[in-house]
Structure 1
Amino acid sequence: MASKIVFMCSLLLLISYSSQNDNPKTSNSTRVLSAAHTELTNYGLPVGLLPATTILGYAVNQTSGDFSVHLAGPCKITLPPDNYVATYSKKITGKIIKGRIAELDGISVRALFKWWSITGIRASDDNIVFEVGMVTAKYPSKNFDESPACEGRHSAS
């Protein structure tokens, strides 16, 4: 009986590990999202703002809005629809309130042959607005309905 339980647990872990390492070109709709992804929706933001990777932990101070997310490793993704390459550090911090993330640290995007830190993200009607200092870029929020898979060597974290 104990060996059957160990076998079933091992099988479930293997299935769980495999689902986290899907090919980035396949659908993410069957992935189980972390509590950190769910927390984004509680603040009116789409889950696709965080990559589909192993999240070791997250914390949100409900009073101040300060948060931190700890990923298993750095992560590189391609942001829709313009295919900008973005990187996520192992630790992402900022302040979150309804529909907005400010003082963001830990996410960068490559544009115009240079890496830029994304300093804020906000929901605006049916759009997501990314802030890079004083510059903003607006995209349809439907592009972030699913959490993208990490690419490259950190995708198996």
Structure 2
Amino acid sequence: MAFLCITFLFLISISTSSSASGDDTLTAYEVLEEYGFPIGLLPKGVLGYTLNRSTGKFSAYLNGTCTFSIDSYKIKYKSPITGIIATDKLSSLSGIKVKALLFWLSVVEVIVDGDELEFSVGIVSADFPVKDFDECPSCGCGFDCDTVKGRRVKFNRYVSSA
């Protein structure tokens, strides 16, 4: 489950707007929502995107490669991420890969079907709850950014009385 979720997250990495349609007020996250997708399909730190609203062709830009692990899977977004976006469907994707066992697989399509997201890597697909993508992962640490080498870090708060 986490394998496909993470793969798709890297796929749509479009954050700040730089829209070819002339609508420069929307962020990439808002564009995702406009097309029926949760914001968590994008990692934090996207530099910009382009979108041709008449064809649906998009490109998302990151500052280099974004990689993180979720469960036993490794996810990799490579800039630019490209594809075609339509209501409830991302297709012809490139730039997003997921490592399952020993193999890197490209995420090629994501479809919203009710409260499920279907991630396809070609001949295989998997469904995940849309709610699992309510938050954006961070490059390097994914959803566990408060950990160090796999261990949760507890932050002690010191209160000084002056």
TM-score (norm 2): 0.68
Which of 50, 66, 76 is residue 75 of structure 1 equivalent to?
A: 66
Tell me how far apart the structure 1 counterparts of residues 100 and 85 of structure 2 sit (CA, whole Å): 25
- Larger proportion of helix: 1
Tell me how far apart the structure 1 counterparts of residues 51 and 72 of structure 2 sit (CA, whole Å): 30
**Percent of aligned positions that are identical:** 40
Unpaired segments ≥5 residues, structure 2: 1-14, 17-26, 146-162
Q: Find the counterpart in structure 2 of residue 50 from structure 1.
A: 42
Shift of 1:56: 2.0
Task: Tell me if structure 2 keeps the 8 A contact 1:60–1:66.
Answer: yes
Unpaired segments ≥5 residues, structure 1: 1-32
Displacement over 4 Å in runs of 4+: none
Matches within 5 A, 1:1-157: 34=16, 35-53=27-45, 55-79=46-70, 82-151=71-140
User: Would the alpha carbon gap of residues 83 and 40 (structure 1) be closer, same or farther in structure 2, given more than 3 Å must change?
Assistant: farther
Q: Secondary structure at the match of 2:53?
A: coil
TM-score (norm 1): 0.70
Task: Give the residue type in structure 2 aligned to 1:94.
Answer: G
Q: Find the counterpart in structure 2 of residue 15 from structure 1.
A: none
CA RMSD of aligned residues (A): 1.7
The number of aligned residues is 118
Shift of 1:112: 2.6
User: Would the alpha carbon gap of residues 83 and 37 (structure 1) be closer, same or farther in structure 2, given more than 3 Å must change?
Assistant: farther
Tell me how far apart the structure 2 counterparts of residues 131 and 122 of structure 1 sit (CA, whole Å): 9
Shift of 1:84: 2.1
Q: Deviations over 1:105-145 (max 9, x none)?
A: 00000113100000011111111111101210111111111
